[in-house]
Amino acid sequence: MLIRLDEQALVDDLCAHFRRSGFTAESVGGGMVEVEVEAPSAPSDEEARRAVGQHLRVWQIANPEARAELL
């Protein structure tokens, strides 16, 4: 799943947040981060999207200045 950030400087921090939580996350350029959920953590695409969305919201609470969108 792709996440778009308005602030390129926060990409590494967002990737680190997801990695600490057991996701695969990497910068793909242009303020975009690709996040993957490793099975069996989320057996369906819907559950994976929900998990990524929840972790993104947690990160946004810790970084209230950040604007991010799950695409």
Residue 33 contacts residue 2 (beta carbons within 8 Å): yes
Over residues 10-56, the pLDDT tens digits come to: 999 999 999 999 999 999 999 999 999 876 666 788 889 999 999 99
pTM for the whole thing? 0.89
Q: Is the pLDDT of residue 4 over 90?
A: yes
What's the pLDDT score for residue 19? 96
What's the pLDDT score for residue 40? 65
- Residues ≥6 apart with Cβ < 8 Å to 56: 3, 68, 70
What's the pLDDT score for residue 43? 73
